[in-house]
Structure 1
Amino acid sequence: MDRNRENDDGKGNGGPGRDETEEERADRKWVDLVQELRVAQTGVQILFGFLLTVAFQPRFEQLSQTDQTIYSVTVMLGAATTGVLVGPVAFHRMLTGRRLKTETVAWASRLTMVGLVLLLCTMACALLLILRVVLDDTIALWLVAAMVVWFVVCWFVLPAWTRATRRGID
């Protein structure tokens, strides 16, 4: 059986890694991605469901035009986030059985990264809306900015840093 020796990072540099075929690697990466998507999709669906109820609350009419605009942008971002994070499921369903698992995994991974960026934007807008209602606008902006930095560090910087430092070890 022809097997490719490849690291988890997909570089195939012959270092320590897994001994698996391209199809086995695609299957493993798909299972990993689906598990990751379950976490993200659940959070997005809860947030989006909450956002949909806000407009029907009696106090909504009392919000300033700016806050209603922030709300509208947040709902649209939440819808876009939901769509892109469900996208890999549709992608897989439409391509299943066509021997395109590697391409499916690659596109699903890209959609997931876009979904994380949109989720970051959705969270920032939702926080801004809520904090503007309960705090001074300037404090709200600073707190949202701090949370955006926190999300960027946790979701993007730490993984990128780990990947970059790991590259030097192999």
Structure 2
Amino acid sequence: MTQAERRRGRDETEEERADRMWGELIQEVRVAQTGVQILFGFLLTVVFQPKYVRLTDTDQAIYIVTVVLGACATGALIGPVSLHRLVSGRRVKPQAVRLASRLTFVGLVLLLATMTSSLLLILRVATHDGYVPYLVAAVVSWYLLCWYGLPLWARRRHSSRADD
């Protein structure tokens, strides 16, 4: 079998591939951005609720960490848009796609941390039962499976060495 026969996928130049990957990345970022911005907006309102002052010091610390994580996730997930705007027309799209992809990955990790700490805070306030950490751990495990485990499994199972 020749190299051409073994080759799979698209026959595209580096520029065409970068254009396609940019479009796909921006679609993915739109989904994550919407979620993190809604979550962050709700988090910002909590401090203005009367019940906030009655939270324990631990719960207030969890809240502050959650807000900071949400702000960082928002920044990382909006970063690719700013990156594109600042480098557009400079003939660096392949490099910009790689950098935007890394920013998006960091944003998703920060979103996972934000959702984890939000869930921990909400469940601690809603119930003071000892099962809260276990419930949060179960949900985080679910996120890890859906967001990272299954995609990495599919990538490993359905890609060849030549694809990597």
**Cα separation, partners in 2 of 1:13 and 1:72, compared to 1, 3 Å:** farther
Q: Describe the superposition over 1:3-60 as per-residue Cα deviations: whole angstroms up to 9, x where unpaired.
A: xxxxxxxxx9952211111111100000000000000000000000000000000111
Q: Which residue of 2 aligns with 1:135?
A: 127
Q: Which residue of 1 aligns with 2:59?
A: 67
- Taking the aligned partners of 1:83 and 1:14, their CA distance within structure 2 comes to 41
**Cα separation, partners in 2 of 1:101 and 1:60, compared to 1, 3 Å:** same
1:22 to 5, 14, 34: 14
Shift of 1:169: 9.3
Q: Which residue of 1 aligns with 2:38?
A: 46
Q: Which residue of 1 aligns with 2:145?
A: 153
Root-mean-square deviation (Å): 1.7
SS in 1 for 2:11: strand
1:102-141 equivalences in 2 (<5 Å): 102-141=94-133
Q: Describe the superposition over 1:52-107 as per-residue Cα deviations: whole angstroms up to 9, x where unpaired.
A: 00000011111000000000000000000000001111111111111000000000
Q: Give the structure, 1 or 2, with the largest relative contact order (CA under 8 Å, sep 6 or more).
A: 2
- Taking the aligned partners of 2:112 and 2:82, their CA distance within structure 1 comes to 23
Q: Which residue of 1 aligns with 2:47?
A: 55
Unaligned runs of 5+ in 2: none
**Cα separation, partners in 2 of 1:47 and 1:135, compared to 1, 3 Å:** same
SS in 2 for 1:97: coil
Unaligned runs of 5+ in 1: 1-11
Could you state the TM-score of these two structures normalised by the residue count of structure 2?
0.92
Query: What percent identity do the matched residue pairs reach?
Result: 60
- Taking the aligned partners of 2:125 and 2:96, their CA distance within structure 1 comes to 43
SS in 2 for 1:18: coil
**Cα separation, partners in 2 of 1:158 and 1:33, compared to 1, 3 Å:** same
**Cα separation, partners in 2 of 1:169 and 1:96, compared to 1, 3 Å:** closer
Q: Which moved more, 1:160-169 or 1:128-137?
A: 160-169
Could you state the TM-score of these two structures normalised by the residue count of structure 1?
0.89
SS in 1 for 2:68: helix
User: Size of the alignment, in residue pairs?
Assistant: 159
- Taking the aligned partners of 1:82 and 1:30, their CA distance within structure 2 comes to 19
Q: Which residue of 2 aligns with 1:9?
A: none
